[in-house]
Structure 1
Amino acid sequence: MPKQFIMIMTDTQRTDMLGCYGNSGMVTPCIDSLCENGIRFDKAYTAQPVCGPARSTLFTGLYPHSNGSWSNCVALESTVKTIGQRLTHENIATGYIGKWHLDGGDYFGTGRCPDGWNPKYWYDMRNFLDELSTEDRMRSRNAGTIWEGDGYEAEFTFAHKCSNRAIEFIKEHQDKDFFLVVSYDEPHGPFIAPKKYPEMYKDYEFPVSENIHDTLENKPEHHKVWAGDRIHHDRSNHKVKYPLLFGANSFVDSEIGRVLEAYRTYTKDALILYTSDHGDHLDAHRIDSKGASMYEEIIHIPFILSGTPVKGNKVVNEHVVSHADVVPTILDYFNATPYSMLQGHSLIKVLDEPTAKINDAIFSEFGRYEIAHDSFGGFQPIRCIRTDRYKLVLNLLCTDELYDLKKDPHEMHNLIDEPATSKIRDALHDQLLNWMNETRDPFRGYYWSRRPWRTDAPPATWYDSCMTRQKEPDYDEVRECDYATGLPITKATYRKF
C-alpha cells in the first residue's frame, strides 16, 4: 500500500473561526469532518505570526531565525532545504499547489517552481494573476466587486483553481507514494468568494472575549502604539462584524471539501494534516491584523491530523505542538533520512497514542513584518516560550510579558513583575535563552538575559557563553572546518575560549 500524505493549509484563520474548535456560528463542515477520524490539537502554535516566516518553518523544520526567512520578502537561506527537496531525494513524488511566499519576491511570488516540487502542478498566486486580463486582475484584488451584480463565480477564484490541480494530482498519484501541499490564500484579504458566502454573515457578530476591552496597562509600548486612538475608545457596545472575512472562511472550507472528496475516493488511506499559518487579532487587545505580538489570537492556530493512520476518532490533544514539528513528522511518516539540525519533534507517536505529550514547550518569534514596508512597527525583536500553562514573551525593546493561561486565558494580566510567579518566569527564561543558543539564533546575545526583572542576571560580557555552534552537514554538504586548524570539526558545538 502506498504511503501518502496530504497537507492542507489556509491563511489567516483562527481556531475559533472553525466549528470543530467550538464556534457554532462558523459554517465549516468540511474541515470539521476531519475531526471525525482524527486528532484536534488544542494547543498548536505558529513559529511566527506572519505569512512568509510561518511557512518557512512549516516547510523546512527550522525556525525563521535559522532558515533565513525571518520577515516577509526575505527568501530562504541558500543552503536550507525544504521538505520537497528532502522527499524528492528519497524518490517520493511531491506537489505544491498554492501560496508559497518563500522566494523573496512580493506577495504573489515569482511564478517559478522551486527545486523539490513537480513543475507540472506548481501554481502560485503569480501564475493565477498571469492567467487574468488586466481588468480581471484588478477585480481579483477588490473585495467590493463581490457585491456588484452577481459577484464572483467560484471558478474565477484562486482557491477553486488550486483545488482543481490538487484533485488532478491525487488522481494521477493514487497508486504512488506522494506528499501533496494545498496552500490556499483564503480567507486572507481581499476575501474573494461568491456572494452567497459573505451574505451568510451580514448580520453575524463574532463572539468576543474580555480582552476586547484590554486597556493595555502594563503591556508593551508597541502594543499601545499599534492600538493608537482605539486605546481610548468606549467599547461597551463593541461588535466584531467581518462578513467578507467569515464568508471567505466558509468558501475556502467548501473548496477544501472538494479536495477531501477526491482524497476519500482515490487515496482513503492517506494521512491528512490541516493547519493555518497564523490568526488575526480581530480587535482583541484593541489591535488588528497580525504581527508583533504573541497573543493567542494570532499565534494559536488550528491543527488537525486525520485519516486511517490515526488510531482514534474525535480525539483532543491538549499539549503544545508547533509548526516546527511538521517536517520531522513528515520525514518520520515516510521513513526518510532525518536531518540533525531539525528543531522540532516528530508527532508520529500520536497516531497510535492520540493524547500523547510530545513537547514540554514550544517557541514563537518575531523580527519584522516585511522588508518592503516601513510600517507595521518596524523591527520588533520578540522571542516567546509557551508551555501547556504559561507563556513568557521577551520584547527586547520594551516591556516583557508573562501569562498564566490557565487562570487568564485572555491574557489580560501581565505577571512579569509578580513575585509569586518569579521562579516560574525565570525557569522559562532560562529555557528560552537555551533554545536561542541551540537553534543558532543570529540575534542572540547578553541583552536577552539582562532583563529588568531578572535580579540574578549575569553581568554583560562580550563573549557571552563562549560557545561556537557550527552547522551539522546535510546529505549533500561537506563537514565544516575549524577556524583555528582548517581541519574538519569533530563536533559542531564546542567552547571557543
Structure 2
Amino acid sequence: MARRPNFLVFVTDQQRADWLGCYGHPTLRTPNIDALAARGTRFEDFHVAMPVCMPNRASLLTGRYPSIHGLRYNGCVLSERANTFVEVLAASGYRTAAIGKSHLQPFTGQPPKGQLSAETGPIEEAWKPDPVTYEEEEPDTYSSDQPYAIRTPYYGYQHVEMVTGHGDRCGGHYGQWFRRRHENWRELHDPANELPHNYQCPQAYRTPVPEESYPTAWIRDRAADWLRVQAGEEDPFFSFVSFPDPHHPFNPPGRYWSMYEPDQFEVALPYEAHRNPPPPLRHLRDRWERNVPEEISQAAFYADEQALREAMALTAGMTTMIDDAIGDVLAALEASGRAEDTIVIFTSDHGDYLGDFNLLLKGALPLPAITRVPFIWADPKDPVRRTCSDLASTIDIAATVLEKAGVKPYRGMQGQSLIDSIGGGEGPRSALLIEHHDGGARMGFNEPARVRCLLTDRWRLTFYKDQDWGELYDRQADPQETLNLWDDPEHASVRSELTERLVHMMMSTMEESPRATRLA
C-alpha cells in the first residue's frame, strides 16, 4: 500500500503575490521559496476569499466563505462547532501541528474601534452566547512565564505552539519563551530603546530584539524541532507553519533591517496612474493632503513616495528573513528522512497595497495587491515545474489537500480541488467570489463596508453595499486596474452580464450543512 503524503504548509502574513523572486520581483531575494516553485506548480491567479487576516485564515481551514463559517471580520471567532479539514485529516490518522500564528480567535484583548451599533432590547444578539470561552489566543492566557497548555485538539491540531500579534513584541507561547530567555525583556520591548535610524515611514521601527529571538526565528526553530521528531513516526503528518511577517509594523531585526535600501525600489503604480479613482482612493488622498492620520494602525493610508520606498525596503528584509527560515525548516525536513513523502505548500493570508496608488496596508478596495497571493504546491512525487493560470481561491486549499490525502470532505465545503490544475489539466473554476466585511467605518464609508467581488479571467466586478458607484475593470487590457469602466456606456452589457453572474454565485454559496434528517 502506497504511503500517504505528508503536508508541510508555510503561510506568511500580508504578502502580495508579486513580492517573491519566482513571481517576478526584480529586487527581493527569496531563493528557498523560488526553489519550491522550481520543483512544483506556481499559481498565477490565486486569490483570497477575503483580504483580511482572521476571516481568510478561517476560510483556509474550513474551505468555506466568511459569510458562511461566521468569522466575518477581525475580532470574531471561528466557532468550535465549525469543522476544519485538519480535523478530517486527524480523524483519518494524520499527526497534526500548528506552529506560529493561528489567529482564529482575537489576540489583542482590546475592544473594537469604529464599529457602529444599533439600539437593541433586553436581548442583544440574534444568537445565544456560545457556551465555549474563546480565550486561547488572548494576552492574559499567556501572562505566566510557564508554557500555557493550550486545549487540544485546537481546530484539529493536536500540537500547538502559538504566536500572537505582529512585529517584535508577539505573545503566546513565543512571548512566554521570550520572557524566560531575556531577563531584560522589558527593555527590549520598550519603544524608548529603539535603535537609531533615519526612516520616516509610519510604523517603521528598528527593534533591539536580536535576530535569534525574533518571532520568525522562534517559529523556524520550533517547526524544525517538530519535524525532527517525526523521523521515527509511521503516521503521516500535517504541519502548519505560520509567520506573522511581513505584516506591519516594518521592523526587520538585525542585518535584515539594512539588507535592502529604499532606492532599490520603485513606486510603479502611483496615485496619478488611476484615470478615474474611486471614492475611497480619493478619500485617503484627501486625508493625506490635510495631514489627518488614521485612527487605528491597521487602517489603510496614503503615503508619499519616500515613505513607500522605505516600507518596501523593510518589507523586503522581513520577507528574506522568512525565506531564510523556510530554508532551515526544509533542511530539517530533509534530515528527518521524510522529505520524499512530503508535499510542501506556500501561500499567504492576504496582500498589502504596498505602494499601489500610494497606499499602504489593506482595506475595502479589493485591488489585486491585497486579493492576489502566492500559492505554490511542490510534490516530490511530481517534480515537474509548472505555471498555472487557472483561477483559484484560498477556499480551495482544503479540498485539494483532502483529495491528495485520499480523504472525503465534509458536506458544506465550498472549495474545489485543484489537483487537476496542479497536474496540468483544466481547473475547476471559470469565476470566483471575494467577500469583504469591514469591522468599522473606514476609507470614507459612513458604515462598515460590505463588498462583493466577482473575478473572471477577463473582468473584475465589485459592488459596495448601498453605494451608487462600483468598479469594473478589464483585467486583460488593463491588468493594473487603472480605468474604472463601471459608468462606461460601451461596457453596460458586460456589467449587466457580470452582475447576473455574481448574483448566481452568491446564491450558490448558501449554507448546505447540515442536510435534512426527515421528510417535511
Q: TM-score w.r.t. structure 2 length?
A: 0.78
Structure 2 equivalent of residue 306 of structure 1: 378
Q: Which amino acid in the other structure matches residue 424 of structure 1?
A: V
Number of the residue aligned with 1:124: 163
SS in 2 for 1:132: helix
| CA shift digits 1:430-487 (9 cap, x unpaired) | 22112222212xxxxxxxxxxxxxxxxxxxxxxxxxxxxx6433xxxxx546xxxxxx
Partner Cα distance (1:106, 1:235) in 2: 30
Partner of 2:266: 207
What is the RMSD of the two structures over their aligned residues, measured on CA atoms? 2.9
What are the within-5 Å matches in structure 2 for residues 190-339 of structure 1? 190-214=249-273, 217=276, 219=278, 221-230=279-288, 240-242=309-311, 243-265=313-335, 266-269=337-340, 270-313=342-385, 315-339=386-410
Shift of 1:296: 0.7
> 2: CA distance between counterparts of 1:6 and 1:234?
37
Q: Does 71-80 or 21-30 show the bigger shift? A: 71-80
Q: Look up the match of 2:236.
A: 177
Cα distance in 2 between the residues matched to 1:306 and 1:350: 13
Which amino acid letter does the alignment assign opposite residue 223 of structure 2?
Answer: A
1:358 aligns with 2:428: yes
Contact 2:345 2:377 in 1 (8 A): yes
Corresponding position of 2:411: 340
Aligned to 2:509: 439
Partner AA of 2:244 in structure 1: D
Q: CA deviation at 1:263?
A: 2.4
Q: 1:412 to 1:203 in 2, by over 3 A?
A: closer
Cα distance between partner residues in 1 of 2:383 and 2:328: 25
Structure 1 residue 10 displacement after superposition: 0.4
Q: Offset at 1:255?
A: 0.8
Alpha carbons 1:198, 1:244 under 8 Å: kept:
yes
Q: 1:147 to 1:91 in 2, by over 3 A?
A: farther
1:392 maps to 461
Q: C-alpha distance in 2, partners of 1:135/1:227?
A: 42
- Determine the C-alpha separation between the residues in 1 that align with 2:43 and 2:35: 15
Partner of 1:280, secondary structure, is: coil
Q: Distance in 2 between matches of 1:74 and 1:294?
A: 21
**Residue pair 2:48, 2:56 contacting (<8 A) in 1 also:** yes
Deviation at 1:32, TM superposition (A): 1.0
Q: In structure 2, what is the Cα distance between the partners aligned to 1:434 and 1:172?
A: 48
Tell me, yes or no, if structure 1 residue 166 matches structure 2 residue 223. Answer: yes
Amino acid in structure 2 at the alignment position of 1:122: E
Higher deviation after alignment, 82-91 or 380-389: 82-91
1:152 matched residue in structure 2: 209
Distance 1:137 1:25, change over 3 A: farther
Task: Pick which of 193-202 and 41-50 moved more.
Answer: 193-202
Name the residue aligned to 1:407: 477
1:109 maps to which residue? 137
Shift of 1:362: 1.4
Cα distance between partner residues in 2 of 1:342 and 1:331: 11
Q: What residue identity is the alignment partner of 2:162?
A: Y
Structure 1 distance, partners of 2:361, 2:192, is 17
| Alignment CA distance shift 1:236-1:188 (3 Å) | closer
1:144 Cα deviation after fit: 7.5
Matches of 1:424 and 1:247, distance apart in 2: 43
Residue 62 of structure 2 corresponds to residue 37 of structure 1: no
Say if 2:303 and 2:359, in contact at 8 Å, map to a contact too: no
Q: SS at 1:343's partner residue?
A: coil
- For residues 304 and 191 of structure 2, the distance between their equivalents in structure 1, rounded to whole angstroms, comes to 30
CA distance in 2 between partners of 1:104 and 1:239 (Å)? 29
- Tell me how far apart the structure 2 counterparts of residues 254 and 413 of structure 1 sit (CA, whole Å): 39
CA separation in 1, counterparts of 2:173 and 2:493?
53
Output the CA distance in 2 between the equivalents of 1:348 and 1:50: 26
Alpha-carbon distance in structure 2 between the residues aligned to 1:367 and 1:321 = 21
Question: Could you say what secondary structure the match of 1:397 adopts?
Answer: coil
Amino acid at match of 1:245: T
- Structure with bigger RCO (C-alpha 8 Å, 6+ apart): 2
1:181 deviation in Å? 0.4
Q: Give the Å deviation of 1:297.
A: 0.9
Residues 203 and 412 of structure 1, relative CA distance in 2, 3 Å threshold: closer
| Alpha-carbon distance in structure 2 between the residues aligned to 1:190 and 1:237 | 17
User: Match of 2:10?
Assistant: 8
Report the CA distance between 1:27 and its aligned residue: 1.3
Distance 1:365 1:144 in 2: 41
1: CA distance, partners of 2:215 / 2:364? 28
* Secondary structure in 2 matching 1:271: strand
Report the CA distance shift for 1:114/1:197 in structure 2 as closer, same or farther (over 3 A).
Answer: same
Give the superposition deviation at 1:375.
Answer: 5.4
Q: Matches of 2:408 and 2:193 in 1, distance apart?
A: 49
Question: Does the CA contact (< 8 Å) of 1:7 and 1:274 recur in 2?
Answer: yes
For the 8 Å contact 2:449–2:464, the answer to whether it is kept is yes
CA contact (8 A) 1:309 1:351 kept: no
**Is 1:423–2:462 an aligned residue pair?**
no
Q: Which residue of 1 aligns with 2:169?
A: none
**SS of structure 1 residue aligned to 2:503:** helix
Instruction: Measure, in 2, the Cα distance between the counterparts of 1:234 and 1:124.
Output: 30
Asked whether the 8 Å contact 1:198–1:246 carries over to 2, the reply is: no
Query: Unpaired runs of 5+ in structure 1?
Result: 441-469, 474-478, 482-487, 491-497
* Alignment correspondent of 2:94: 92
- Calculate the TM-score normalised by the size of structure 1: 0.81
Change (3 A) 1:390 1:113: farther
Per-residue CA deviations over 1:342-366 (Å, capped at 9, x if unaligned) read: 111101123432x633311111111
Cα–Cα, structure 1 residues 261 and 147, in superposed 2: closer, same or farther, change >3 Å?
farther
Distance of aligned partners of 1:120 and 1:365 in 2 relative to their CA distance in 1, 3 Å threshold: closer
Q: Report the Cα offset of residue 140 of structure 1.
A: 5.1
Quick check: 1:317–1:356 contact (8 Å CA) kept in 2? Answer: no
Residue ranges of structure 2 left out of the alignment (5+ in a row)? 110-135, 142-149, 165-171, 198-205, 291-301
* Matched letter for residue 163 of structure 2: D
**Distance apart, 1:159 and its partner CA:** 1.3
Could you tell me which amino acid in structure 2 is paired with residue 356 of structure 1? E
> Would you say how many aligned residue pairs link Structure 1 and Structure 2?
444
Tell me, yes or no, if the aligned pair for 1:213 and 1:235 is still in contact at 8 Å: no
Q: How big is the shift at 1:146?
A: 5.3
Q: 1:79 to 1:198 in 2, by over 3 A?
A: same
**Residue type at the aligned position of 2:419:** I
Identity across matched positions, percent: 27
